[in-house]
A and B are shown apart, each in its own frame.
Chain A
């Protein structure tokens, strides 16, 4: 409604750098890093030919050196090798959990978003909202832990647990997107043009409401990886001797003072993966894939 462009003040000291839509350095770095992680997950042999499970007691606790760039652990296995081979587990759990969470979240979000109005819709909306509130009341790891209390530990339960724990976040965003789009002028214009509700749904509402999901999933991937490795750290995820990052850190706890490399490097791998996913996700969002 405004002639807004002419009244918006140019910014001076209180300005911040607004990046333009070109490729920026952090995004390139993040993409490369994530690509490396994916390669490590899919074909670890390319990056680390040694055997991650081969025990070699004589080499135990060596500091980072030429032979073992990131040092060795308590059984003489190379940290670099184990990190590379662990990428598969960590990424797989994280990715699978994200898929579960997104899928469930989208279904719940759509069900809730289409609520309101007539009775069945109302019931659906309220039920889902209450369900979401409950899930939020048991946030993140807590929900995952409660689930594992019932299912027992392991890689698969951890995956499902993390997936369930991330679902409410997606559901909430999808719901608010659906509500927003349903009420938008775009839908009204379609009604005025005489479109049937099913057509409007299919061609306008769903694509626009779900547009941010890909971005969200990318952002959520980082979080899922962090949670999955946290569960392993707590001993509830992938069982040893699997080279999962969180588990490696857990093993390194005892030796933190003497062999710091066992703690620092696997954690760095988690941070790198999560941060790269976040940066990429935000880059995608900036290019117009995100929620408004």
Chain B
């Protein structure tokens, strides 16, 4: 937070690609030792803005002023840009697995920048590369120089990525979605690195849709929407007291800190005025019952039906050795209980066994040991033919609904299939069509979506269709595996609210798997924490989050932005 002259000045930046401007008059400034975050959802133009600072947009760029220190970036030719890129402006992308060349050792990637911008000898470059790795906290850098990004674990990979981008110590670092899709612990690594950079005098421009990370790291915030800046200012001011309605909606949509049952999204959404696809033309108002009665109803549901709907005891699943890879214990002595009307959250880092556990509960995989009971009856391990009739009791929704749809079927057929349960006699009847439309309405989708193919839907619409399909069979339990991770914040809020409403109305039980502790904190009554295939802690969400007992839980909570 320096008061010195700004390092980077962007004034009235415009970028267009032939079908209209994607960035339409964006202005901001950035000083050395300062971190500014550009926040927005997909389609806001934030990424394109960041690319303009590297001359890599590929579109028509114009501005009133675009300067970095003494250099005017606006008129640079390709050769001059190459001198700026990497040396004065560095780019850190999202996922090191694909942002570093998977076929080359990381040492080479780091060496590239040095080779291009310095006159060091190969030996000196190697020294410098080692230094860069040490700076980012890479253990045993000598041995890692020859590793490829895929051979390193998540945290180490991200460190390597940062080292490669910063080897020549640029003045400005652009971090594009640096924490998205990463585990909490790995996110923490990245955030710490960026903070260290900022404190060391580098200017950091962060592009993110994750307001939590922004709050932790950024000094100032610029909120973008549809190519324009709608609000800007110091972080705490913008996030705690937003002025513009869009910013207010974004902040309200965050599940962090929102109590169980509180609405995250505005109660009505205009049907088609917005040009951004993720604000879903065709969405229809969803009204929920009065908030105050939620607790009473839930309590009543519990009293009626205190019976367990789903219970697992001592589940164990080991994946046998293949070639050089030894046996992998994915799930080890896991016991869980789920009651009607309640949400059990399942959290843990990737590889902790959450998804495998879900598959065991759904009966998609057979446990090597342990049992699962559904409504008091044995469920797993069991022959499929003995339990197929009860499958309607269990539903599932996934992170990527598109892959679970038959690409040849339009939405209406998809839902009709789920409703008829394979029974051919109802096909084509008016009653069926009415049921399909009713189902669409319950998840807040307009009737005209019934004839559309699933590929033409937005992410939020697809997830709603997936929910509708799960609901069709009138289940008692729905397993939700990362249901909102791939969605924009505002859409995520709508889907979470929908799930909440449905739970209230139907008395559904949810198993909610998520790596996002804020979502779990908002949605789950009880939570189970997994690590290396074991449940290390279980209990009421509020208690576990306030006073975690296991160190892994503590680590996960601490890693939250």
Query: Given A12-B56, A191-B364, A193-B391: A3 and B408 within 8 A (CB)?
Result: no
Give the contact-size bracket for chain A.
20 to 34
Give residues 203-223 of A contacting B (CB, 8 Å).
203-204, 207-208, 211
A6 within 8 A of B: yes
A residues in contact (CB < 8 Å) with B = 1-3, 5-7, 9-13, 15, 184-186, 188-189, 191-196, 199, 203-204, 207-208, 211
B248 within 8 A of A: no
B6 within 8 A of A: no
10 contacts between A and B (CB under 8 A): A2-B180, A2-B181, A3-B42, A3-B209, A3-B486, A5-B42, A10-B51, A186-B406, A189-B404, A193-B418
Interface 1/0s, chain B 29-68, versus A by CB < 8 A? 0000000000000111011100100001111000000000
With a cutoff of 8 Å between Cβ atoms, the chain A residues found around residue B17 in the complex are 10
Distance in Å: Cβ of B64 to nearest Cβ of chain A: 22
Q: Are B403 and A7 in contact (CB under 8 A)?
A: no
With a cutoff of 8 Å between Cβ atoms, the chain B residues found around residue A15 in the complex are 58
With a cutoff of 8 Å between Cβ atoms, the chain A residues found around residue B421 in the complex are 193-194
Q: Are A188 and B404 in contact (CB under 8 A)?
A: yes
With a cutoff of 8 Å between Cβ atoms, the chain B residues found around residue A193 in the complex are 391-392, 417-418, 421, 469, 473
Which single residue of chain B is at the shortest CB-CB distance from A11? Answer: B58
With a cutoff of 8 Å between Cβ atoms, the chain B residues found around residue A13 in the complex are 58
Q: Are B399 and A1 in contact (CB under 8 A)?
A: yes
Which single residue of chain B is at the shortest CB-CB distance from A5? Answer: B42
With a cutoff of 8 Å between Cβ atoms, the chain B residues found around residue A11 in the complex are 58
Q: Are A10 and B364 in contact (CB under 8 A)?
A: no
Q: Are A186 and B404 in contact (CB under 8 A)?
A: yes
A68 to B431, CA, bound (A): 69
Q: Are B485 and A194 in contact (CB under 8 A)?
A: no
Distance in Å: Cβ of B309 to nearest Cβ of chain A: 16
Interface 1/0s, chain B 384-411, versus A by CB < 8 A? 0000110110111011100111111000
With a cutoff of 8 Å between Cβ atoms, the chain A residues found around residue B422 in the complex are 194-196, 199
> Which of B44, B51, B406, B418 makes the CB contact (< 8 A) with A9?
B51
Q: Are A9 and B56 in contact (CB under 8 A)?
A: yes
Q: Are A3 and B488 in contact (CB under 8 A)?
A: yes
Q: Are B407 and A1 in contact (CB under 8 A)?
A: no
Q: Are B406 and A3 in contact (CB under 8 A)?
A: no
Q: Which of B44, B396, B403, B406 has the most CB of A within 10 A?
A: B406
B177 within 8 A of A: yes
A186 to B51, CA, bound (A): 37
> Which of B177, B407, B473 makes the CB contact (< 8 A) with A6?
B177
A196 to B421, CA, bound (A): 10
Q: Are A189 and B396 in contact (CB under 8 A)?
A: yes
A182 to B43, CA, bound (A): 35
Q: Are B405 and A192 in contact (CB under 8 A)?
A: no
Query: Given A7-B94, A185-B400: A204 and B406 within 8 A (CB)?
Result: yes
With a cutoff of 8 Å between Cβ atoms, the chain A residues found around residue B405 in the complex are 186, 189
Q: Are A194 and B400 in contact (CB under 8 A)?
A: no
Give residues 158-177 of B contacting A (CB, 8 Å).
176-177
Query: Given A1-B181, A12-B58: A192 and B395 within 8 A (CB)?
Result: yes
Q: Are A10 and B391 in contact (CB under 8 A)?
A: no
Q: Are A194 and B486 in contact (CB under 8 A)?
A: no
Q: Are B389 and A194 in contact (CB under 8 A)?
A: yes
Query: Given A185-B398, A186-B406: A194 and B94 within 8 A (CB)?
Result: no
Q: Are B94 and A10 in contact (CB under 8 A)?
A: no
Give residues 368-390 of B contacting A (CB, 8 Å).
388-389
Which single residue of chain B is at the shortest CB-CB distance from A192? Answer: B396
**7 smallest beta-carbon distances between A and B, as pairs:** A194-B391, A12-B58, A189-B404, A185-B403, A185-B404, A10-B58, A6-B47
Query: Given A188-B364, A194-B388: A3 and B177 within 8 A (CB)?
Result: yes
> Which of B399, B408, B469, B473 makes the CB contact (< 8 A) with A211?
B408
Q: Are B394 and A192 in contact (CB under 8 A)?
A: yes
With a cutoff of 8 Å between Cβ atoms, the chain B residues found around residue A185 in the complex are 398, 400, 403-404
A211 to B181, CA, bound (A): 33
Distance in Å: Cβ of A194 to nearest Cβ of chain B: 3
Q: Are A192 and B51 in contact (CB under 8 A)?
A: no
B362 within 8 A of A: yes
A195 to B389, CA, bound (A): 9
Q: Are A1 and B486 in contact (CB under 8 A)?
A: yes
B184 within 8 A of A: no
Distance in Å: Cβ of A288 to nearest Cβ of chain B: 8
B93 within 8 A of A: yes
With a cutoff of 8 Å between Cβ atoms, the chain A residues found around residue B408 in the complex are 207-208, 211
Interface 1/0s, chain B 488-505, versus A by CB < 8 A? 100000000000000000
A272 to B196, CA, bound (A): 64
With a cutoff of 8 Å between Cβ atoms, the chain B residues found around residue A5 in the complex are 42-43
Which single residue of chain B is at the shortest CB-CB distance from A211? Answer: B408
With a cutoff of 8 Å between Cβ atoms, the chain A residues found around residue B94 in the complex are 2, 7
With a cutoff of 8 Å between Cβ atoms, the chain A residues found around residue B57 in the complex are 10, 12
Distance in Å: Cβ of B227 to nearest Cβ of chain A: 13
Distance in Å: Cβ of A211 to nearest Cβ of chain B: 7
A185 to B482, CA, bound (A): 15
A211 to B409, CA, bound (A): 13
A9 to B93, CA, bound (A): 11
A260 to B93, CA, bound (A): 60
Distance in Å: Cβ of A95 to nearest Cβ of chain B: 27
Which single residue of chain B is at the shortest CB-CB distance from A184? Answer: B403
Q: Are A194 and B392 in contact (CB under 8 A)?
A: yes
Distance in Å: Cβ of B232 to nearest Cβ of chain A: 19
Q: Are A208 and B406 in contact (CB under 8 A)?
A: yes
Distance in Å: Cβ of B361 to nearest Cβ of chain A: 11
Distance in Å: Cβ of B470 to nearest Cβ of chain A: 8
Which single residue of chain A is at the shortest CB-CB distance from B58? Answer: A12
Q: Which of B181, B388, B422 has the most CB of A within 10 A?
A: B422
Interface 1/0s, chain B 136-180, versus A by CB < 8 A? 000000000000000000000000000000000000000011001
> Which of A7, A194, A196 makes the CB contact (< 8 A) with B473?
A194
A193 to B384, CA, bound (A): 12
With a cutoff of 8 Å between Cβ atoms, the chain A residues found around residue B56 in the complex are 9, 12
Distance in Å: Cβ of B425 to nearest Cβ of chain A: 15
Q: Are B180 and A10 in contact (CB under 8 A)?
A: no
A12 to B57, CA, bound (A): 7
Q: Are B403 and A186 in contact (CB under 8 A)?
A: yes
A185 to B400, CA, bound (A): 9
A196 to B486, CA, bound (A): 31
Which single residue of chain A is at the shortest CB-CB distance from B488? Answer: A3
Q: Are A192 and B391 in contact (CB under 8 A)?
A: yes
Which single residue of chain A is at the shortest CB-CB distance from B91? Answer: A9
Q: Are A1 and B47 in contact (CB under 8 A)?
A: no
Q: A9-B56, A194-B388 are in contact. List 5 more A-B contacts (CB 8 A).
A: A2-B94, A9-B58, A13-B58, A188-B404, A192-B395
A189 to B95, CA, bound (A): 29
Distance in Å: Cβ of B167 to nearest Cβ of chain A: 21
Distance in Å: Cβ of B468 to nearest Cβ of chain A: 13
Which single residue of chain A is at the shortest CB-CB distance from B362? Answer: A192
A129 to B242, CA, bound (A): 64
Q: Are A7 and B176 in contact (CB under 8 A)?
A: yes
Distance in Å: Cβ of B154 to nearest Cβ of chain A: 14
Q: Are A6 and B46 in contact (CB under 8 A)?
A: yes
> Which of A2, A188, A207 makes the CB contact (< 8 A) with B486?
A2
Q: Are B364 and A192 in contact (CB under 8 A)?
A: yes
A10 to B398, CA, bound (A): 29
A12 to B58, CA, bound (A): 4
Query: Given A7-B177, A185-B400, A191-B364: A208 and B47 within 8 A (CB)?
Result: no
A186 to B407, CA, bound (A): 9
With a cutoff of 8 Å between Cβ atoms, the chain A residues found around residue B395 in the complex are 192
With a cutoff of 8 Å between Cβ atoms, the chain B residues found around residue A191 in the complex are 364
With a cutoff of 8 Å between Cβ atoms, the chain B residues found around residue A6 in the complex are 42-44, 46-47, 177, 209
